[in-house]
Structure 1
Amino acid sequence: MEEAALLPAELEADLHDNIPLTQAMQVRVLEIGPESVRLGAPLSANINHHRTAFGGSLATLATLAAWSLAFLKLKSAGLDCSLVVGSVHMDYLAPVEGDFSARSMLAEPEKWEHVLEAFARRGKARIPVLAEIDYGGRCAARFRGDFAALAR
């Protein structure tokens, strides 16, 4: 069963209501597509002592974008489950000196049906997701994470 997609404002409200850190970071949902989610955040709320974006903020925004994509994909498949992060790897490539965004995508989109089949069989599934931090039109950091979908 396919459910109606969430609007960016609805996802943003959900993030702000359930993850207070997203309010402090001033996270905004910029775009929701069928295969990606893009979140943004201002430097002013995420700045460090070097006057660049705090690495933890970059990792958090990438994790949130990746989690949001997995959440929306599961929701659109009609699955009611818990979604938790299992592992994360982050590579920082360049300093971020202004507002930034994170775009997520499935690491293995061709295996999405296998994820759904695994969940149907075992009540759990692993979802590998990628995200890139964009600053000024270039990739400033790369994220790879595995999320676990668990039946309630």
Structure 2
Amino acid sequence: MSEVNLNEVLEYVYEHIPITEHLGAKLEYYDGSELEVSAPLEANINHRNSAFGGSMSAIGILSGWALLFIKMRELGLASKLVIQSSQFQFLEPVVTDFVARSSLPDSHLYQRFLKILARKGKARIRVESSVYDLNGILCGTHTGEYVAILL
């Protein structure tokens, strides 16, 4: 298992998913099973002085995608990783900078994903993210179905 540098991952993300740089996305925290991605309100503000819903959704998607991307790198697996389906629930307006926290699913589901990926070269997994404002208020939840394809 190799250690992953978040700054290198962020450079990769900016290069291959340019909108993330425009959103001001930053990879803030990673502990092996959870990733936190932040975004400034200023770059994502709407006409109501709150975060644009599309930005909230994009940061939620990114947190799940980046978590899986990092896990694939740690395991030394070259893969193409895409989102297949996405659902976002808006709970509260975001009026501060915000973060999306994603977590790996339980160990059984994650290990099943890896076994299928090894056997078939393609697997899908559901990753959930929660979007919080800087006051710790839960403002939205994202559920994404991601697909990994070994290269």
**Cα distance per residue 1:19-61 (max 9 Å; x no partner):** 1111111111111110011010100000000110000000000
**Cα distance per residue 1:98-137 (max 9 Å; x no partner):** 1000010123333211111101111111111000001121
Q: Name the structure 2 match of 1:25.
A: 23
2:37 matches 1:14: no
Q: Name the structure 1 match of 2:143.
A: 144
Q: Name the structure 2 match of 1:119.
A: 117
Q: What TM-score comes out, normalization by structure 1 length? A: 0.94
Aligned length: 150
C-alpha contact (below 8 Å) 1:132/1:141 kept by paired residues: yes
C-alpha contact (below 8 Å) 1:70/1:127 kept by paired residues: no
Name stretches of at least 5 consecutive residues in structure 1 with no aligned partner. none
3-state secondary structure, aligned to 2:37:
strand
Query: Aligned partners of 2:7, 2:106: CA distance in 1, in Å?
Result: 27
3-state secondary structure, aligned to 2:45:
coil
Q: Percent identity between the aligned chains? A: 32
Alignment match of 1:102 (pick from 91, 100, 107):
100
1:96, CA displacement in angstroms? 0.2
1:8, CA displacement in angstroms? 2.0
> For structure 1, which segment, 120-129 or 54-63, has the greater mean C-alpha deviation from structure 2 after superposition?
120-129
Query: Aligned partners of 1:44, 1:10: CA distance in 2, in Å?
Result: 25
2:77 matches 1:70: no
Query: Aligned partners of 1:29, 1:52: CA distance in 2, in Å?
Result: 22
Supply the AA of the counterpart residue of 2:118: A
Supply the AA of the counterpart residue of 1:30: E
Alignment match of 2:78 (pick from 77, 80, 83):
80
CA RMSD after TM alignment = 1.1
C-alpha contact (below 8 Å) 2:23/2:44 kept by paired residues: yes
Q: What TM-score comes out, normalization by structure 2 length? A: 0.95
